[in-house]
Amino acid sequence: MKKLIYLLIVVMIIIGGGVGYIYHEINKPQKYAKVIEIKSDVPLKKSLSVLPISKNIIFKGYLKYRNEGKGIKAGYYELKGNLNMKELIDVLEEGKDKVFRLTIPEGYSVAEIAELLEKMGKIDKDKFYKTFNEIEFPYPTPNGNFEGYLYPETYYIPENYDERLILRTLLREFLKKFPPENYPNKEEFYQKLIMASILEREAKLDEEKPLMASVFYNRMDKGMKLASDATVNFVYNYKKKRMYYKDLEIDSPYNTYKYKGLPPAPISNPSVVSVEAAYNPAKTDYLFFVAKGDGGHFFSKTYREHLEFQRKNKENK
């Protein structure tokens, strides 16, 4: 009898210890700093596999206990701070910290970004533009023009953000990339930003941006016009897939075929690479460039070389 009682006590201790361990594991907080996507068309286990805790046998059991995660809602979630298993599942079931993914391609204009956000159903375009007038910014914004300052990046933005908070998120990323204290001469920075915005639209290859910058600076030094198709296409909201001579006749300060020097403001939102190229152009005598058809460009010092390459390129096609 004593042995039986002793055995029961041991079993109860083991069970109690096991229950205590499970309780401890479920309530033990873990630190998160990650965006996770729960997809409706893939198994939940696969969506959760990016989390180290998903391999924990206690978590697997707890998830099963929570109706096998059937209450978890699809979408992007920004997991931040300390969460235990219960809190983690609560967040995913209740839709807390749900975010949407916004990818701004390099070289998009403010108008293109606003159109993208409106198509996603995240903003009212008119409200978005009005919000610019409410923002204080440490860099030049002539006539409230924020072109160039919406940094191209992939963002995860809380679903409940309005136009003002979305805009602040984008501008905050720009200031991280270009801290105002690092650029004391704000007017000089703005001129470089304008150049960078042209490079972003003209160059497909990052390694060519310093070369292209040298072409534009060399043209300016010689009193030539920049003659950039991209600056003209900006006037057409980049709706032109190909520029014709008649398109180049438009009268606009952004038409660098008509007016010398840089346009009055950026024509797109450039990357760090483009800004660096604007500050550090290659040292060349190049005055011309033309697309080769493979994403790269042929650079030349004389107009004769420029035309000769175009002629040979046509013959080879």
> Mind listing the pLDDT tens digit of every residue in the chain (317 residues)?
545 554 444 444 455 455 667 877 888 899 999 999 999 899 999 999 999 999 999 888 889 988 988 999 999 999 999 999 999 999 999 988 899 999 999 999 999 999 999 999 999 999 999 999 999 999 999 999 999 999 999 999 999 999 999 999 999 999 999 999 999 999 999 999 999 999 999 999 999 999 999 999 999 999 999 999 999 999 999 999 888 999 999 999 999 999 999 999 999 999 999 999 999 999 999 999 999 888 899 999 998 998 998 888 776 66
Taking the C-alpha atoms of residue 292 and residue 299, their distance in angstroms, rounded to an integer, is 10
Q: What is the pLDDT of residue 294?
A: 86
Measuring CA to CA, how many Å separate 18 from each of 5, 14, 203?
20, 6, 63
Q: What is the pLDDT of residue 26?
A: 84
What's the pTM?
A: 0.87
Q: What is the pLDDT of residue 223?
A: 96
Taking the C-alpha atoms of residue 207 and residue 88, their distance in angstroms, rounded to an integer, is 44
Taking the C-alpha atoms of residue 295 and residue 55, their distance in angstroms, rounded to an integer, is 44
Q: What is the pLDDT of residue 226?
A: 98
Q: What is the pLDDT of residue 13?
A: 45
Please count the CA atoms within 13 angstroms of the CA of 71 that sit on its side-chain side. 14
Q: What is the pLDDT of residue 18?
A: 52
Q: What is the pLDDT of residue 128?
A: 97
What type of residue is 209? K
Taking the C-alpha atoms of residue 252 and residue 156, their distance in angstroms, rounded to an integer, is 37
Structure tokens at 77: 């979630």
Alpha-carbon Rg for the chain, nearest whole angstrom, is: 28
